[in-house]
Chain A
């Protein structure tokens, strides 16, 4: 009997190497959980038919001595990632029945090591949302409290891991979509430096913001997966950075942490969550850090800037979904224009339509909004860069609220958007950021803290994350 609740990648690797169980047996343990829990939680949209074939290939690697840490590790992936020959829909009706004609570079990197992808998991449609309620294929429930949302947009990948239906998973993030669902499901979530991981084969939402990253039970698991995702992909992706240029700006570490004044005071933050956050600062103090309250004049504008840049990119990006080359298409239309109107009107869900229209608006009037947002984005990045010359990290809550009830906030878009208020600075500036679980509230809901570091200090984050994990556990 495999104790999957106590499993990490290294433990599984050790057991597979020693032959305590086979890759098939490991995968079957997860498939059994999925069979029991998925009908209610709806984390997975599809379990791949070739799981056992993948398992056999991985087992061969153990036989011929080419196994790595990730060989045979059962993972879940988000429905916006392409594997040749498999369906991918970005949880949208407009991509219903679409079969990928190529494999995403980041996923290929993992496939080369022999991971097993169990299936594709639910998300907000085209990753637009913070609760996995905008999917065309039903909501996903939070395994820790099934009346609540798992967060989003990577709610499926988060729920899959939290219900022990995968050892870890791949999510993608445009603004908080890995970190926030990780925090809602009691997991570690990591958003890498922009340009670290290839975006080829990841269905784009906001091109200047999107990155792929892991959700896992431990920082070490997230680190192992992230390191395997990373590559320079000049042939297929224009945004990955050459390896030799992935060098952080030189700085002297100060053992000081910056906490924005609003987060210290708890403005707009759930009371219980804020208490947990303040307690987590004691863990940093126990690690030898000094906590200082810092006021950031521009950071509070981050989410507003994001809600200009993102819809602008969304509206241009989703232009390609026209029903001509792939995906859903209107059955009856008298001419090409009506065909487009109907295909897109029927195929896109409500939130996608809303953001496409918002994007069209912010790009109108000579792009006045958009240009102002770009200038602010640059200024926010500078503000953050300067902070990192004096402070090792910026620490905040992940989201301002605890996991909320299903159905909440759906009729108030701005209230939903606020779930990402602490996420935006890292996405706008390209900085790496990690969400770490810090314990449960009295009613059993997970709380979390977020650490952000300068660009290309992804490894520094894993180091501090692991130290935090150890210190927090031993307290």
Chain B
């Protein structure tokens, strides 16, 4: 992998990264990719539409907590807030 690939992936993942770390990572990931590339030579059975074993179960779409009952606990963790909203930095 090229340094530029790593920088691009890091930016996609919103992770700031020094050039030095990105270079080390490029080497590590090359070794990891050599290992996981085994999957390309694995004897795969013919592609079929399979129903995965694990499926998400979804509960009924109803309000199960009385309004406001957990808001204070959740808000207590946010670093910045205003008028019942979590505050973020300006976007543009």
Question: Could you tell me which A residues sit within 8 Å of B by CB distance?
Answer: 84, 98-99, 101-102, 194-195, 208, 234-235, 238-240, 297-298, 301, 303-305, 307-308, 315, 322-327, 329, 333-342, 344-346, 348, 350, 353-354, 356-358, 360-362, 364, 369, 372-376, 378-379, 381, 412-414, 417, 429-430
| Number of interface residues, chain B, beta carbon within 8 A | 51
A3 to chain B, nearest CB (A): 42
B71 to chain A, nearest CB (A): 10
A234 lies within 8 A of B31 (CB) = no
Judged by a CB distance under 8 angstroms, whether B83 is at the interface is: no
**Which residue of A101, A376, A379 is within 8 Å of B74 (Cβ)?**
A101
Given known contacts A356-B13, A357-B15, A304 and B38 CB-to-CB distance under 8 angstroms: yes
CA distance A342 to B15 in the complex (A): 7
Judged by a CB distance under 8 angstroms, whether B67 is at the interface is: no
List the A side residues contacting B6 at CB < 8 Å.
Answer: 357
> What 11 additional pairs, Cβ within 8 angstroms, besides A304-B39, A360-B9, A381-B53?
A98-B77, A99-B76, A101-B74, A238-B56, A239-B54, A298-B42, A298-B43, A301-B42, A336-B91, A353-B10, A356-B13
A413 lies within 8 A of B31 (CB) = yes
Query: Which residues of B42-70 are within 8 A (CB) of A?
Result: 42-45, 47, 50, 52-54, 56-59, 64, 70
Judged by a CB distance under 8 angstroms, whether B86 is at the interface is: yes
Interface of A: prevailing SS? helix
B29 lies within 8 A of A354 (CB) = yes
9 tightest A-B CB contacts, nearest first: A345-B16, A326-B77, A101-B73, A340-B14, A341-B16, A304-B38, A238-B56, A336-B89, A301-B42
CA distance A335 to B90 in the complex (A): 5
Interface of B: prevailing SS? loop
List the B side residues contacting A342 at CB < 8 Å.
Answer: 16
**Which residue of B29, B52, B59, B89 is within 8 Å of A333 (Cβ)?**
B89
Judged by a CB distance under 8 angstroms, whether B84 is at the interface is: no
List the B side residues contacting A378 at CB < 8 Å.
Answer: 50, 52-53
Given known contacts A378-B50, A379-B44, A307 and B89 CB-to-CB distance under 8 angstroms: no
B36 lies within 8 A of A369 (CB) = yes
List the B side residues contacting A301 at CB < 8 Å.
Answer: 38-39, 42
B44 lies within 8 A of A414 (CB) = no
List the B side residues contacting A344 at CB < 8 Å.
Answer: 13-16
Given known contacts A98-B77, A372-B44, A381-B53, A335 and B35 CB-to-CB distance under 8 angstroms: no
CA distance A358 to B28 in the complex (A): 10
- Nearest A residue to B28 by beta-carbon distance? A413
CA distance A429 to B13 in the complex (A): 29
List the B side residues contacting A413 at CB < 8 Å.
Answer: 28, 31-32
A361 lies within 8 A of B29 (CB) = yes
CA distance A357 to B47 in the complex (A): 29
Query: Which residues of B1-38 are within 8 A (CB) of A?
Result: 1, 5-6, 9-17, 21, 25, 28-29, 31-32, 35-38
B44 lies within 8 A of A101 (CB) = no
B77 lies within 8 A of A357 (CB) = no
CA distance A297 to B38 in the complex (A): 13
CA distance A98 to B74 in the complex (A): 11
B78 lies within 8 A of A325 (CB) = yes
CA distance A324 to B82 in the complex (A): 13
In the complex, 30 of the A-B residue pairs with CB atoms within 8 angstroms, ordered by the A residue number, are A101-B70, A102-B73, A194-B54, A239-B54, A239-B57, A298-B42, A303-B35, A304-B42, A307-B35, A315-B13, A324-B88, A333-B89, A334-B89, A335-B89, A335-B90, A341-B14, A345-B17, A353-B21, A356-B13, A357-B25, A358-B32, A364-B9, A369-B36, A374-B52, A376-B42, A376-B44, A378-B50, A381-B53, A413-B32, A417-B32
- Nearest B residue to A241 by beta-carbon distance? B57
**Which residue of A354, A379, A430 is within 8 Å of B25 (Cβ)?**
A354
**Which residue of A235, A238, A308, A381 is within 8 Å of B39 (Cβ)?**
A308
B79 lies within 8 A of A329 (CB) = yes
